[in-house]
Amino acid sequence: MAAVPETVEQVKDLSVDQYKYGFTTDIETVKAPKGLSEEVIRFISAKKDEPEWMLAWRLDAYERWKTMTEPRWACVHYPKIDFQDLYYYSAPKSTQGPKSLDEVDPELLRTYEKLGIPLEEQKVLAGVEGARVAVDAVFDSVSVVTTFKEELAKAGVIFCPMSEAVREHPDLVQKYLGSVVPKSDNFYAALNSAVFSDGSFVYVPEGVRCPMELSTYFRINEKQTGQFERTLIIADKGAYVSYLEGCTAPMRDENQLHAAVVELVALDDAEIKYSTVQNWYPGDKEGKGGVYNFVTKRGDCRGRNSKISWTQVETGSAITWKYPSCILRGDNSRGEFYSIAISNGHQQVDSGTKMIHLGRGTSSRIISKGISAGHSSNTYRGLVSAHRKAVGARNFTQCDSLLIGDQCSAHTVPYIEAKNAHAHFEHEATTSKISEDQLFYCMARGLDEEAAVALIVNGFVRDVLQHLPMEFMAETQKLIGISLEGSVG
Amino acid sequence: MLEIKNLHVRVEDEDTEILRGIDLAVPKGEVHAIMGPNGSGKSTLSYVIAGKDGYEVTDGSITWDGEDLLALSPDERAARGVFLAFQYPVEIPGVATLTFLRTAVNAVRKARGEKELNTADFMRLVREKAEALGVKQDMLKRGLNVGFSGGEKKRNEILQMALLEPTLCVLDETDSGLDIDALRIVSEGVNTLRGPERAMLVITHYQRLLNYIVPDRVHVLQEGRIVRSGGKELAEELERTGYAEFGEGKAA
Amino acid sequence: MTVQIVKTPAEEALESAFAAMRDGLSGAAGDFAPALRDAAMATFRELGLPGRRVEEWKYTDLRGLLRDVPEPIRASGDTLSETDLYDVLGIDLDEFLAYRIVIADGAFAPELSHFEGTDALFQVLPLSEALANPPDWFREGFGKVNPPERDASLALNTAFMTDGVVIRIADGAKLDRPLHLVFITGSTRRGMVTNRNFISVGEGAAATILETYGARRTPDMLRNAVTEITLGHGAEVEHLKYQNEGRMGLHLSSWMAAIGPGARYRAFQFSIGAGLARNQIFTRFTGEGGEADVSGAFMVWDEQHADTTVVIDHAVPHCKSRALFKGVIDDKARGVVQGKIAVHPGAQKTDANLMAHGLMLSERAEFDAKPELEIYADDVVCGHGATTGELDEDMLFYLRARGLDVNQAQALLTVAFVGEALEKVECAPVREAFVARAAAWLGSDKS
């Protein structure tokens, strides 16, 4: 399985530009009225058949959001967003909530097939696709299907759309939702809390090692529609889960807004591994269109010896604003952030992480590789902090930037804050370009320039690649090549 | 005399015991060797004698000349004549070797109630001892152990031993990383310090070093216990048979 | 979106002090200074005192920390002697052969200054005179040497500057002795002192310039000192600073340097005094082939706060910069190092590196670092690094196993730590004085 299509060649025929997933799906939808208001929120909540407490929670978030302003500190530039000129809910008409596979609109199945996402369990079981992965497919505002649910349930693992969890597992949702990213955490998180549509919910009970990789595949299809998914993953004591996330969107001239919130909670001795391949539509060569990806992702290492690891491959979106973070609250907990961020064309990336060391003996590691090409701007922004009680906190950060061409830019903005003598932090950063010697060597051995660049870039990012699940690794290597097309010569 | 009784040690915050009841007595004037495979607890023993943080003595005692060593800080032990020649001497950039040597010599002399050496006397002393060990003057000007080869580091350790005139010398894997010539020089340095007032504990994995520094007694350390003791012929026996013959442990 | 914030008492005091003093400040009668001061005050009125909301002042909340503003100090008539200089500076002036220019209590003190017979090498003017009767070269350059945008502390300096040193070093002049600029306050009354220096170094000239700052009696002076320096083609300058102001005082300092083609600029600041010290260094290459080393060290204890904020602008190609900062922080003190390397579009073949290291000697110490790269050209080699931590336990154990007690071992390692930065100082007597001062600081003579 792969969230990124396996056969690059095949998909190439589908698109006219560099982007390979730019097709649209022609399907009837149900939408909320345009704009954002209490009525729209009530509409969304009613559509999802939510209990009263969920609606109250949304409305509270909405009240808070109205008093907040958009963050301006990131190194990204875009025209003011008219939040009343968006649709906040859109769902395929045929699928009011997830059903069994044979009830899913065949048009949708074809869409995911084109994207290389297998939704038919038998096909996966036949072993054609290699490793088994359970998939939750989210199309615009709703989850269309979740696979392997029954098999997971046998192990006690809950894996279902968020909307279903709100109805079926209210205790867990009420206990953990908003406990890592509070409603009023930031402008986009508040917006998401008010209007979130769907996303995945995962609960791995005490002592359970999730028997397969879990995965969500997000697709924005509808025009002028924001996608506001909400994901919540809880690994109870001693549990382990690996979760993969993939995203694409059609090519559209106007910008699409994506403001997701992901919350992870790891209790004592639990481990969560969260991997993302983000390949939203980046806009065309002139910088027209593309997804605004304003995402809040945060993990809470709440228990002793817990571990949360973020791995991200960011190649898409016109603008990325995203800082998957770890709150290292439990003693001896560990946070990791491995990132590859590639920007080309007119893309703007401002991404990084926060490692907040609160507990004793906590450790964290950050490896960030940024590659800028074309006219793009690529910023690493990170915070590593140790609070008074975080005795023995340790961090190592390595962040490297590679520039391809003289019209792009690369920025590195780390904040290192130690309020404790027994914290040891080490930060290193470099910026360089691909050496002429390396390029010449590869070309002298017969590689064309783009292939040589892709090869060298793959070498540059290998420290991060090795942290990706096997399923993602080969795809990512190909994706790097595609993302950098047209960056040289 | 160095006396170790029923010594139990574990690494702080870890449950596994590394030393599990060591009994050992090294009288002045004698050289004892501790041999054992990797992971048997040899280095832990040397660190606990010298007073490194991070180890917890859960039971037992170590005395030197009747005085409880465990109650003393590392520098107080050094003042009492305890010297550990490190297996991996740490590099300290920015501290010139010569500055360090003088600070150490005078700190120890002061603590022992001796007069501190003035610059000229100190330089004379260092030059004399350094020459004997083949330590070059330019090495002394460099940062402490910074950029020293393995052999240079070990020679620097022995130079410090010669300067500080300890009465209890613990040599931790002093032969590791040395070629045959360096081994000879280092061993000669050690041998000239042998004397009736001095006790030595030579910790090593291989018998090779003991051809040069011939011990009075040999003890075999395995899984945190001394499993056998004997004369110098025990080392030769070990060389032939390997550690597997002893106890339930496996060969290293 | 800017939110109108209520003015603090200190901001109000500064504005009313300016209104009251404006017509009595140096150069008030001329056509040059008043316009500069008015514009600067307007900027300050708009910006206010910088606090946590201002990114560049994130770790140094001047707005919150500056509670009130004392009256500006005027020449007190309380004369300072050579002995006072020695006490404050800790440098034996008899041993340190230099051309000395002293600004005492905010005004040029000719009786303490010695730079006779040097007209062929350089020209010296008190700032007060230059503001009253500005020579053309001063009028053209003053206030325009790489000024940071929207910086409140610079604006305050321009508004309130009383005196300082204006120096023009002739083309090709190789100074045989360092220029020693001494800024000292002898007043027993708490007060505000605002100095401004302007140094123009001619083509191919070479000089060592040492600025020292200290207060004789009053622990809580409020100092704002700015130096503008331009290096002509191929000039070579070592620019040093020693700051040992009273431990309750505020020391705001900005250096603005413009480095001409092929010029070599070495800046070093050693800071141990003041309750709150903010040392800003803005460096810009204005011609190709320039080289800069901008480094420093600070040692703080008690509740001191030392902030070093550096910006190195690679505005042109083929320049090289290095920066190394070391901070030793004891007790509840706080150290901050912010360093930005900015490579402008087209500044190819830039080679830049910045390192910041904090060493914390106590439980409650705090160190914040923000090294930044802002890169708009691809053919560059840039890097930065930052570390924070306490003394290495293995090193401490090694030294203690050789008989050094815990204090000796810590002192040796700490001096080695700052020593790596102090080694950057090329002027031997100053370097040795700094090293001795660092050792004395550890030996508990921390004032």
Please name which of C226, C231, C181 lies closest in space to residue C201, comparing C-alpha atoms.
C231
Please name which of A252, A248, A258, A342 lies closest in space to residue A289, comparing C-alpha atoms.
A252
Average pLDDT over chain A reads 83
pLDDT band at C356 (very low <50, low <70, confident <90, very high): very high
Residue A19: per-residue pLDDT: 62
pLDDT band at A3 (very low <50, low <70, confident <90, very high): very low
Closest in C398, C404, C406 to B90, CB measured: C398
**Span A469-488, mean pLDDT?**
75
Strands of B97-176, DSSP E: 143-144, 168-172
Average pLDDT over chain C reads 92
pTM over 0.90: no
**Span A443-471, mean pLDDT?**
81
Question: Which range among A70-74, A93-97, C414-418 has the greatest average pLDDT?
Answer: C414-418
Tokens linked to A121: 């369990």
User: Best of C391, C399, C408 to disrupt the B interface by mutation (most B CBs within 10 Å)?
Assistant: C399
Chains that touch B (3 or more CB pairs under 8 A): C
Residue C2 has pLDDT above 60, yes or no: no
Whether residue C375 and residue A413 make contact (CB cut-off 8 A), yes or no, is no
Residue A68: per-residue pLDDT: 92
Residue C9 has pLDDT above 80, yes or no: yes
Whether residue C380 and residue A432 make contact (CB cut-off 8 A), yes or no, is yes
Angstroms from C415 CA to nearest CA on chain B:
8
Residue A299 has pLDDT above 90, yes or no: yes
Number of Cβ within 10 Å of residue A286's Cβ equals: 9
Residue of higher predicted confidence among B99 and B217 = B217
Please name which of C304, C87, C74 lies closest in space to residue C191, comparing C-alpha atoms.
C74
- Give me Rg for the CA atoms of chain C: 21
Residues of C in contact with A428 (CB under 8 A): 383-385
Residue C305 has pLDDT above 70, yes or no: yes
Residue B248: per-residue pLDDT: 46
Residues of C in contact with B117 (CB under 8 A): none
| Tens digits of residue pLDDT in A111-166 | 666 666 656 554 444 333 444 567 777 766 666 667 777 788 888 999 888 988 99
Please tell me which residue of chain A has the smallest CA distance to C53.
A73
Number of Cβ within 10 Å of residue A358's Cβ equals: 19
Whether residue A406 and residue C345 make contact (CB cut-off 8 A), yes or no, is yes
Whether residue C416 and residue B111 make contact (CB cut-off 8 A), yes or no, is no
**Span C179-187, mean pLDDT?**
89
Angstroms from C440 CA to nearest CA on chain B:
16
Please name which of B197, B200, B153 lies closest in space to residue B175, comparing C-alpha atoms.
B153
Residues of C in contact with A414 (CB under 8 A): 369-372, 386
Please tell me which residue of chain B has the smallest CA distance to C410.
B95
Q: Which residue is associated with the tokens 């206990």? A: A175
Tokens linked to A14: 């589908």
Using CA atoms, how far apart are residues A20 and C381, in angstroms rounded to an integer? Answer: 34
Whether residue C370 and residue A413 make contact (CB cut-off 8 A), yes or no, is yes
Lowest mean pLDDT segment, chosen from A209-218, C54-63, C342-351: A209-218
Residue of higher predicted confidence among A195 and A481 = A195
Q: What are the counts of helices (DSSP H) followed by strands (DSSP E) for chain B?
A: 9, 12
Residue A99 has pLDDT above 60, yes or no: no
**Span B78-105, mean pLDDT?**
89
- Give me Rg for the CA atoms of chain A: 21
Residue C204: per-residue pLDDT: 97
| Tens digits of residue pLDDT in A9-47 | 333 333 334 566 666 666 667 777 888 899 999 998 998
Whether residue C368 and residue A415 make contact (CB cut-off 8 A), yes or no, is yes
Residue A128: per-residue pLDDT: 36
Lowest mean pLDDT segment, chosen from B113-127, B233-247, C251-265, C392-406: B233-247
pLDDT band at A90 (very low <50, low <70, confident <90, very high): confident
Q: In angstroms, how far is CA A282 from the centroid of its own chain?
A: 15
| Tens digits of residue pLDDT in A76-87 | 888 888 888 888
Whether residue C386 and residue A427 make contact (CB cut-off 8 A), yes or no, is yes
Question: What residue type is assigned to position A427 of the chain?
Answer: H
Tokens linked to C326: 């070391």
Closest in C367, C370, C380 to A418, CB measured: C367
Average pLDDT over chain B reads 89
Helical (H) or strand (E) element with A143? strand A142-146
Q: End-to-end CA distance of chain C, in Å?
A: 44
Backbone angles phi, psi at B177, to 5 degrees: 80, 10
Q: Please tell me if residue C394 touches chain A, with a CB cutoff of 8 Å.
A: no
Whether residue C373 and residue A406 make contact (CB cut-off 8 A), yes or no, is no
**Span C77-81, mean pLDDT?**
67
| Helix, strand, or coil (residue A176) | helix
Using CA atoms, how far apart are residues B150 and A43, in angstroms rounded to an integer? Answer: 75
Residue C1 has pLDDT above 50, yes or no: no
Lowest mean pLDDT segment, chosen from A64-78, A185-199, A219-233, B109-123: A219-233
Residue A107 has pLDDT above 50, yes or no: yes
Residue A103: per-residue pLDDT: 62
Closest in C397, C402, C419 to B94, CB measured: C419
Q: Please tell me if residue C370 touches chain A, with a CB cutoff of 8 Å.
A: yes
Residues of C in contact with B164 (CB under 8 A): 402-403
Closest in C363, C369, C374 to A411, CB measured: C374
Angstroms from B23 CA to nearest CA on chain C:
23
pLDDT band at C39 (very low <50, low <70, confident <90, very high): very high
Q: Which residue is associated with the tokens 């529609």? A: A225
**Span B14-35, mean pLDDT?**
93
Whether residue C388 and residue A418 make contact (CB cut-off 8 A), yes or no, is yes
Number of Cβ within 10 Å of residue A437's Cβ equals: 8
Residues of C in contact with A419 (CB under 8 A): 366
Residue of higher predicted confidence among A213 and C313 = C313
Task: Give the count of Cβ contacts less than 8 A between chain B and C.
Answer: 77
Whether residue A406 and residue C346 make contact (CB cut-off 8 A), yes or no, is yes
**Span C60-65, mean pLDDT?**
93
| Helix, strand, or coil (residue A73) | coil
Lowest mean pLDDT segment, chosen from A157-161, B6-10, B236-240: B236-240
Please tell me which residue of chain C has the smallest CA distance to A382.
C370
Whether residue C375 and residue A409 make contact (CB cut-off 8 A), yes or no, is yes
Interface of C with B (CB under 8 A): 392-395, 397-406, 408-409, 412-413, 415-417, 419-420
Using CA atoms, how far apart are residues C266 and C283, in angstroms rounded to an integer? Answer: 11
